[in-house]
Amino acid sequence: MKKLLSLLLCLILATACMAAAAAETDGKVDELKVGIAKAVTPRTLMSESGAYGRMNYNAFCAGTFLIKDADGVIQPNLMTDWEINEDGTEMVATFATDQGITWHDGEMLTMDDIEFTCNFSMSNGAGYMGELDHVERLSDTQLKFFFKGPKAFYEMGTMAIFQRVYPKHIWENVEDPDNYAEPEAAIGCGPYKLVNVDEDAGTLHYEAVADSYLGRELTVKSVTVRTYDSQDALAMAVRTGEVDAMYDYASPIPPTLAQSVTGVENVDNGMSKNLGNYMLLFGFKKQPTDDLAFRQATYKALDYELLAAAIGGDDGEVAGAGLIPSLSLGFDDTLPTNAQDQEEAMRILDEAGYLDVNGDGWREMPDGSEMNVVVSPQNNATRQSMYERIAEIIMKNLGEIGVQTTLDEESVRNSDFANQLRADGTYELFICYSTQGVGMFKTAYMYIIDEGPGAKWGSCLDPELLDAYHALQEAQDYDAYTDSVRALQQLNAEHIYGIGLCWDKSYYPYRTDKYEGWTDFPGWGVINNQTWYTLHTK
């Protein structure tokens, strides 16, 4: 009996200790360590570069109007509710300005800040409100948005994740917002505040502002973001446990590095389908790339199996005629997969008058003049070697059908030249990348059209394409939106505005030994706007 009583007493004590430990930690994460291949500067709400700016895509230090879930669907955040009028030109939105949200300097978030943010963003290009005309305050929690056309749903899609709120009491008197870099520039109203920066160590440390945010319990108490000089070092940091996960918007580690964290104990390589993709765009302000026959021949000439292997490794997928990846909302799976047919390519060129007139092995233009097509890779340090490898394959394939090409070396080495080239749309063949954020809603076709505030690199003014993209912008719900996306893909299959070079996979590795409850967003990774509420200790 004494032994039994002793055993029961031990069990009671052990249970009490376990309960006390559970009560003390409550399964929360004391310090989540995140690795990123971006610098610790700049640290300002105006910038989306660097570790600070990139993390704010995750509704982190900055408070965002809206977020998106793992499927890319718009969800509430500081904008808690909305109602769009029948023709999509107006929207009444409710904000969490009555829920005790404070700026990280202690000031309360109010409708003054929301209204200021809208006007500030429109006047300074500090946001994603290109279709907003003006706003009208209805109350301390409601604001009415007036758009330039029936584009309320589209504007919400472009704002989600990206549009952050600016504190009026800090930014209203800043004369040069683009170059404002005082510590106050980093003050946000998100669930985490920046409390320490060690530039020598390359770390930023954040702490949760409270136990909960917008009514949801925060399960991660603090986050340390450590910067790395290269993705190689970043992958190794995950492998060795120096960090718990990696994050870098639009820059997952390449397949070659993914092999180093695949099959490693307590590491998940974070592979998922990618919303971003490598593309070849045609210059519609140049000859011969403005000619449909030349574009058709180029489309038939390329070795897509080789491109998929070069870009995506063993997991690379040959892209389809619709350009955008299969993960995209509104993806059209009825369109054919890209396939090489160089005999057909040569037949198309012959019929269109691109002949080797002088017998030197290279085709001339239909008027007999020399044809030497310039291939311009996008200037990007992270992807430069990949762009050059893609250019090598494309130039070889075009050479095999008699098309002479030249690598645009100035674009490779001179970022100013490259930026001006794409801004002017005066390229001929442009190798580039559509990011995950653009792929979520605007689609890669945003990079092709040459119209409006959303135009980035486009050179195409084909009325059919513009009409289809306008229909996307004016869609009032997801059904109309996906119909428009399918129409864009079908037009691309017919007119070949751009070519998808590969649908690759994203790799954002993370560790599985200490924490569970990771929420993996396809093409984005486990560091996202849900991580702060779902992650907990094992």
In DSSP notation, 242-267 reads SSSEE--TT-PPPHHHHHHHTT-TTE
pLDDT given for residue 25 in this prediction? 55
pLDDT given for residue 454 in this prediction? 52
Q: Return the closest-CA partner of residue 97 out of 82, 105, 108.
A: 108
Q: Is 193 left (phi over 0), alpha (psi -120 to 50) or beta?
A: beta
pLDDT given for residue 294 in this prediction? 98
Strand duo 32-36 + 66-68: pairing: unpaired
Which pair of structure tokens corresponds to residue 303?
A: 């070795």
Strand duo 245-246 + 32-36: pairing: parallel
Q: How far apart (Å, rounded) are the C-alpha atoms in residues 59 and 42?
A: 18
Q: Do residues 484 and 446 lie in contact, with contact meaning Cβ atoms separated by under 8 Å?
A: no
Cis peptide before 288 (omega within 30 of 0): yes
Q: Do residues 459 and 451 lie in contact, with contact meaning Cβ atoms separated by under 8 Å?
A: no
In DSSP notation, 277-340 reads EEEEEE-TTSTTTT-HHHHHHHHHH--HHHHHHHHHGGG-B--BTT-S-TTSTT--TTSPBP--
Strand duo 222-227 + 245-246: pairing: unpaired
pLDDT given for residue 124 in this prediction? 84
Total-model pTM: 0.91
Strand duo 132-137 + 498-502: pairing: unpaired
Helix (H, G, I), strand (E, B) or coil at 165: coil
pLDDT given for residue 18 in this prediction? 43
Q: Do residues 73 and 225 lie in contact, with contact meaning Cβ atoms separated by under 8 Å?
A: no
Q: How far apart (Å, rounded) are the C-alpha atoms in residues 178 and 185?
A: 10
pLDDT in tens, the chain (538 residues): 455 445 444 444 444 444 434 444 589 999 999 999 999 999 999 999 999 999 999 999 999 999 999 999 999 999 999 999 999 999 999 999 999 999 999 999 999 999 999 999 998 877 799 899 999 999 999 999 999 999 999 999 999 999 999 999 999 999 999 999 999 999 999 999 999 999 999 999 999 999 999 999 999 999 999 999 999 999 999 999 999 999 999 999 999 999 999 999 999 999 999 999 999 999 999 999 999 999 999 999 999 999 999 999 999 999 999 999 999 999 999 999 999 999 999 999 999 999 999 999 999 999 999 999 999 999 998 899 999 999 999 999 999 999 999 999 999 999 999 999 988 999 999 999 999 999 999 999 999 999 865 567 899 999 999 999 999 999 999 999 999 999 999 999 999 999 999 999 999 999 999 999 999 999 999 999 999 999 999 9
pLDDT given for residue 456 in this prediction? 72
Please identify which residue in the block is written with the tokens 């689609």: 443
* 352: DSSP letter: T
Q: How far apart (Å, rounded) are the C-alpha atoms in residues 178 and 169?
A: 17
